[in-house]
């Protein structure tokens, strides 16, 4: 397995772990602020405009 494959697998596992954490927060009826900011940072890293992300966070 190349280092790229290991990194991709690790990233996928990390993303899945974050997804499960978000699902748990939704089920509990709460969104921890640190989780919201982590999701916002990830969305911005993926190319979403920061202003749009901040506007959505303000609605929550």
Range of the domain at 32: 3-59
Total domains present in the chain = 1
pLDDT (0 to 100) of residue 26: 73
- State the Cα–Cα distance between residues 14 and 19, nearest whole angstrom: 9
Its pTM stands at 0.47
pLDDT digits (tens, 9 = 90+) for 19-56: 777 777 777 877 777 777 888 888 888 888 888 888 87
| Of 24 and 12, more confident | 24
What is 6-47 written as a DSSP string?
Answer: HHHHHHHHHHHHHHHHHHHHHHHT---HHHHHHHHHHHHHTT
Structure tokens at 13: 């596992």
């Amino acid at each position: 397995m190349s280092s790229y494959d290991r990194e991709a697998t690790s990233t996928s596992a990390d993303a899945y772990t974050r997804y499960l954490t978000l699902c748990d927060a939704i089920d509990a009826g709460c969104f921890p602020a640190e989780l919201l900011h982590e999701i916002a940072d990830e969305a911005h890293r993926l190319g979403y405009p920061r202003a749009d992300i901040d506007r959505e966070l303000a609605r929550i």
